[in-house]
Amino acid sequence: MTKSVAILGAGAWGTVLATLAKANVHEVRLWSRQGGETLARTVQDADIIVSAVSMKGVRDVTSSLQSSLVSPNTIFVTATKGLDPKTTCTPSQIWQETFPHNPVVVLSGPNLSKEIEQALPAATVVASQNMEAAESVQSIFSSNRFRVYTNSDPLGVELGGTLKNVMAIAAGVCDGLQLGTNAKAALVTRGLTEMVRIGTHWGAKMETFYGLSGLGDLLATCNSHLSRNYQVGYQLAGNKTLPEILAHLEGTAEGINTTNVLVERAKQQNIPIPITEQVYRLLAQELTPRQALEELMLRNAKPE
Ligand SMILES: NC(=O)C1=CN([C@@H]2O[C@H](COP(=O)(O)OP(=O)(O)OC[C@H]3O[C@@H](n4cnc5c(N)ncnc54)[C@H](O)[C@@H]3O)[C@@H](O)[C@H]2O)C=CC1
Ligand SMILES: O=C(CO)COP(=O)(O)O
């Protein structure tokens, strides 16, 4: 059945999600803050509202939408991978808090938009406490080139996509310094352990991190020059400064904000996050990529 889909954020990811829904013959309206259409008109009578704005825009968009007429049957889908700097909330928590009576679905997976744009095959996950809503979103986006799985751990799915961005910065550094395949395998594996430690502390299920939205996205992002987060790390290892890198980066590298938020919250909660800490110090120009590596290698010996 044809559905009415409003997509908020016409950046790289919002545009690709619009193409996928259109290809399944849904009626799609794509909203950007630079465009002529109002937010209220874009979401009018929408069956689903997909947010693909970057983290810094989520609060603005939810507040603007609050005054619009949204039916309690409308499903919200969030595709943002980040953490709110003020509250450390995830995007889906912000959407749910703003629209407590609507179902909220998280969409996240190994989805480098440039590859999907080229019609290369990919898979993703739609997660919600409301399985009917997740299945509805699954059918809107599923096709022979985009395989969509449902999941009932929205927090775990969302945190997988968010936390791997920090590891992708570290992986970019690792490749930029040409540290080799063994080092990269060690980094990504220990990175996943760090993601699981944080995620389970915050209430996500451990097994979710071993699926597409965790390990899957970690592998995609840590191994691709198409990833903006990976690019940040790679270019830092090439002795560029963060402002120089960001001046030429296409789109958003969410891992930078996520690292800052994570370091604050983990400190308060006493969660050990050694890799994130080194990424933080590197981004803050407190040490060089080589020094960050040294710090990680020379930590106290411990069991795996
Ligand atoms: N590009 C990709 O491959 C993927 C990106 N994502 C996630 O999707 C989100 C968006 O990523 P991209 O589209 O790549 O970024 P982008 O930088 O290309 O687009 C961001 C969009 O957010 C909008 N935005 C920012 N602040 C706003 C505000 N205050 N009010 C209204 N709109 C605002 C921008 O206008 C733009 O349309 C990020 O959280 C990213 O991690 C998720 C999966 C894949
Ligand atoms: O989330 C992504 C792939 O799943 C996109 O990664 P970047 O934001 O690092 O480009």
What is the SS3 assignment for 23-51?
HCCCEEEEECCCCCCCHHHHHCCCCEEEE
Ligand 1 pocket test, pick from 54, 230, 250 with the greatest ligand atom count within 8 Å of Cβ, gives: 54
Please compute the mean of the pLDDT values over residues 288-293 and round it to a whole number. 96
Where does a domain end: 152, 173, 191? Answer: 152
pLDDT digits (tens, 9 = 90+) for 93-115: 999 999 999 999 999 999 999 99
**Residues flagged as binding site for sn-glycerol 3-phosphate:** 81, 109, 164, 217, 227-229
Residue at 303 is within a domain: no
Pair (74, 166) in one structural domain? no
Pair (190, 135) in one structural domain? no
Please compute the mean of the pLDDT values over residues 207-219 and round it to a whole number. 98
Look at residue 68 in the predicted model and tell me its pLDDT. 85
Instruction: State the total domains in the chain.
Output: 2
Active site residue 205: no
CATH at residue 241 = 1.10.1040.10
Residue at 173 is within a domain: yes
Q: Confirm if 58 and 106 have CB atoms less than 8 A apart.
A: no
Look at residue 158 in the predicted model and tell me its pLDDT. 98
Pair (206, 107) in one structural domain? no
Look at residue 167 in the predicted model and tell me its pLDDT. 98
Pair (52, 161) in one structural domain? no
Residue at 304 is within a domain: no
Look at residue 67 in the predicted model and tell me its pLDDT. 83
* Ligand 1 interacting residues, C-beta cut-off 6 A: 9-14, 32-33, 52-57, 60-61, 79-82, 111-113, 251-252, 254
Residue at 72 is within a domain: yes
Ligand 1 pocket test, pick from 83, 252, 259, 261 with the greatest ligand atom count within 8 Å of Cβ, gives: 252
pLDDT digits (tens, 9 = 90+) for 240-257: 999 999 999 999 999 999
Please compute the mean of the pLDDT values over residues 204-215 and round it to a whole number. 98
**CB of residue 273 inside a 6 A radius of ligand 2:** no
pLDDT higher than 90, residue 69: no
Where does a domain end: 124, 152, 180? Answer: 152
Pair (66, 107) in one structural domain? yes
pLDDT higher than 90, residue 61: yes
Please compute the mean of the pLDDT values over residues 217-238 and round it to a whole number. 98
Please compute the mean of the pLDDT values over residues 135-143 and round it to a whole number. 98
Pair (163, 146) in one structural domain? no
Look at residue 133 in the predicted model and tell me its pLDDT. 98
pLDDT digits (tens, 9 = 90+) for 144-200: 999 999 999 999 999 999 999 999 999 999 999 999 999 999 999 999 999 999 999
Q: Which of 56, 164, 184, 302 is catalytic?
A: 164
Four-residue CA torsion sign, 171, 83, 95, 5:
negative
Look at residue 196 in the predicted model and tell me its pLDDT. 98
Q: Confirm if 176 and 289 have CB atoms less than 8 A apart.
A: yes
Where does a domain end: 125, 152, 179? Answer: 152
Residue at 130 is within a domain: yes
Please compute the mean of the pLDDT values over residues 214-228 and round it to a whole number. 98
Pair (144, 164) in one structural domain? no
Pair (148, 8) in one structural domain? yes
Percent of the chain residues topping a pLDDT of 70: 100
Q: What would the two tokens of residue 19 be?
A: 């193409």
Three-state SS string across 241-280, please? CHHHHHHHCCCCCCHHHHHHHHHHHHHHHCCCCHHHHHHH
pTM of the model: 0.98
Pair (125, 166) in one structural domain? no
Burial bucket for residue 195 (CB in 10 Å: 0-12, 13-18, 19+): buried
Domain range for 27: 4-152
Look at residue 12 in the predicted model and tell me its pLDDT. 97
Give the span between the Cα atoms of 204 and 197, in whole angstroms: 10
Give the span between the Cα atoms of 259 and 60, in whole angstroms: 22
**Residues flagged as binding site for NADPH:** 13, 33, 81, 113, 228, 254
Residue at 31 is within a domain: yes
Pair (90, 192) in one structural domain? no
Concatenating the DSSP letter of every residue in 52-120 gives ---HHHHHHHHHHHHTS---TTPEEEE------TTT---HHHHHHHHSTTS-EEEEESS--HHHHHTT-
The β-bridge partners of 146 are: 122, 143
Pair (209, 239) in one structural domain? yes
The count of other CB atoms within 10 Å of the CB of residue 3 is: 18
Pair (111, 59) in one structural domain? yes
Mean pLDDT for the chain? 97
Ligand 1 atom index nearest CA of 91 = 39
Look at residue 180 in the predicted model and tell me its pLDDT. 98
CATH at residue 102 = 3.40.50.720
Q: What would the two tokens of residue 37 be?
A: 């259409």
Residue at 243 is within a domain: yes
Residue at 209 is within a domain: yes
